[in-house]
Amino acid sequence: MKLKKRGMLALLLTLTLSLITAGCGQSNAPTPAPSTSEGVAKEISVGLIPAEAKVSDQAMEKFRTYLAQQTGSTIKMGTYPDYNGVVEAMNAGKLDMAFLGPLTYVIANHKGGARAIAAKTAKGVPYYYSYILVHKDAPYNTLDDLLKDPKSVDFAFGDINSTSGSLVPGVELKKRGVFRSKDDSDFKSVVYTGAHDVTALSIQNKKVTAGAIDSAYYDKLVEQKKVDETQFKKIWQSDKLFQYPFAVSKSVNDATAQKLQDALVNMKDKEILDAFAADGFVKAEDKDYAAIRSVAEADGRLK
């Protein structure tokens, strides 16, 4: 009996120690860190390019306030001098969201994994075109007319990383054998104005012979009476291009991206929309920019 009791006591002691050890093992195990995808970021930084978004201080503050209200986050908003500056800032983790040209978005996606979440609409659709315009007094009615004597033509592109102001018209002119680079072309001169409004005014004031421009920005400039539509002739138009997106950096979690997307899609304030030459925003994703990516690859823009 004593042996049996001792055996029972030993068994109970062993079971007790096992339970204690198991309990201690559970309490000492590291607690999993909460997933960042479960909540919206407390602070969101947003970047804009003045050459593409003509945001007044008042419109910028309205936009910042609107995003803050819709997301519940603190919104920090700033401007960058050009497309490349925004891409570098996103890649360096200094920007959570930015308004980009389609080509710039493709580059930002290629270099740093940026994600498109919303695209602007103009005249109710998320498409636009690249135009080549000349002054109404110019003796050209088609691009073929213009290229009969390229040595007499001063040609203006916009920002070198602009889709409609540089990439697409540049590829067209390369196909026609008259343009290879700024310093190697059959034109009298080639300039990069840096912005669509500067290109339009340069054509209107006869400082250049012809220029490439974003159709939506041109229409907005006409609507706002910043240029006189009667002073222009359109001699070339590209195929449809998917519109300018807002994109988030790869570090932005899904909950934050969703909140920002909802805020942009539901935005109705005309002053803010006018700043982006838009009448609204729709959901966008990376595959919407496949055609522009193909052109960028063919033109050696993705390295």
Question: Where a domain ends, among 238, 266, 288?
Answer: 238
Residue 4 covered by a domain: no
Question: Where a domain ends, among 209, 238, 267?
Answer: 238
> What value, to the nearest 5°, has the Cα angle with vertex 292 and ends 297 and 128?
155
Which structure tokens are listed for 49? Answer: 């390019």
For residue range 226-277, list pLDDT tens digits in order. 999 999 999 999 999 999 999 999 999 999 999 999 999 999 999 999 888 8
Predicted model pTM: 0.78
Q: Both 219 and 261 in a single domain?
A: no
**154, amino acid identity:** D
DSSP secondary structure string for all residues of 213-225: EEHHHHHHHHHTT
| 95 alpha carbon, distance to own chain's centre | 12
Per the prediction, the chain carries an average pLDDT of 87
pLDDT for the residue numbered 49: 77
Residue 36 covered by a domain: no
- Tally of structural domains, the chain: 2
Distance CA(247)–CA(109), nearest Å, equals 9
Q: Which value, to the nearest 10 degrees, does the dihedral of the CA atoms of residues 58, 63, 64, 67 take?
A: 160
Distance CA(303)–CA(297), nearest Å, equals 8
User: Using an 8 Å Cβ cutoff, are 244 and 276 in contact?
Assistant: yes
Residue 104 covered by a domain: yes
For residue range 56-94, list pLDDT tens digits in order. 888 889 999 999 999 999 999 988 877 888 889 998 889
Element at 191 (helix H, strand E): strand 189-192
| 1: pLDDT strictly greater than 50 | no
Which structure tokens are listed for 119? Answer: 């695209």
Distance CA(86)–CA(48), nearest Å, equals 8
Q: Which CATH number characterizes residue 139's domain?
A: 3.40.190.10
CA distances from 214 to 93, 170, 220, 238, 293 (A): 29, 13, 10, 10, 18
For residue range 189-226, list pLDDT tens digits in order. 999 999 999 999 999 999 999 999 999 999 989 999 99
Q: Look up the domain containing 233 and give its range.
A: 130-238
